[in-house]
Structure 1
Amino acid sequence: MSFTFSKKEKLKSKKRIEQLFAEGKSVSAYPLRLVFMPCQFEENTLAQTGISVSKRHFKLAVDRNRIKRLMREAYRLNKATYFNNLSQPYAFMILYIGKDKPKFDYIEKRMQLLFEKFRSHISEK
């Protein structure tokens, strides 16, 4: 897995997102929450990921877009480390559940912790 976040790696299917929230499991590392579910994709990708920030806590689109940009960058830089040896493909949705505007280094540390929790959760089964 390279350090890119291409179009085929983005979770865009409305059906799959609804299924993810209905049937998926989650882990949290405040202020991030990861909802995940194993599934099959038409493309040869190990993971499809969506990123979301609540409109309730951040009324201005500028703030929501900034946080999403930081989260995408943290995901892009760390996904190769954590997802290279996945046994099956997963769908992910990463949610920002905090109420304050974060800095990039804080988001990146919390993203790494979130991925560690995910890895330990799937290795238990």
Structure 2
Amino acid sequence: MRLTYPKNEKLKSKTLIDELFASGKSVSAYPLRLVYLPTTFNNNVMAKTGVSVSKRNFKTAVARNRIKRLMREAYRLNKPDIFNNLSTPHAFMILYIGKEIPSFYHVNAKMKQLFEKFSNKSEA
């Protein structure tokens, strides 16, 4: 699997996002939380992923965008570990629930931990 995050893998559908928050399950590895929902997609993609940072915790767009860039990069680098054992298509939303701006190494470590918890929970 290529280490990319193309447009067709981005979660943009408002109805799917609403359904994800209404009936999805979640796992946490503070300061990240993953909300996921098994679903089907029209195109041949295994997962669609979105990232979000609370405006309540980070008032400036600069800080929110920085954290979102870090989360997308950590997701992109760890994507092969996640999807090699994923059998059904999923919709993912990764939320940053911390209160301080993290370093990339912290986000990357927590992203690995988060998807490790997801794979353990989805197998059970």
- SS of structure 2 residue aligned to 1:82: helix
**Counterpart check, 1:73 vs 2:73:** yes
The C-alpha deviation readout for 1:37-92, integer Å capped at 9, x for no partner, is 00000111110000000000000000000000000000000011121221100000
Counterpart secondary structure, 1:58: coil
Amino acid at match of 2:51: I
Aligned residues between the structures: 124
Find the residue that maps to 2:11 and give its secondary structure: coil
- What secondary structure does 1:95 align onto? strand
* CA-atom RMSD in angstroms: 0.5
Q: For residues 1-125 of structure 1, what are the structure 2 equivalents within 5 Å?
A: 1-124=1-124
What fraction of aligned residue pairs are identical, expressed as a percent?
64
TM-score using structure 1 length: 0.98
- Indicate the SS of the match to 2:109: helix
Runs of 4+ with >3 A deviation = none
Return the alpha-carbon distance in structure 2 between the equivalents of residues 41 and 85 of structure 1: 18
Letter in 2 for 1:31: P
SS across alignment from 1:110: helix
Distance across 2 between alignment mates of 1:86 and 1:107: 22
Gaps of 5+ in 1: none
Q: Which residue identity is paired with 2:92?
A: F
Return the TM-score normalized by structure 2: 0.99
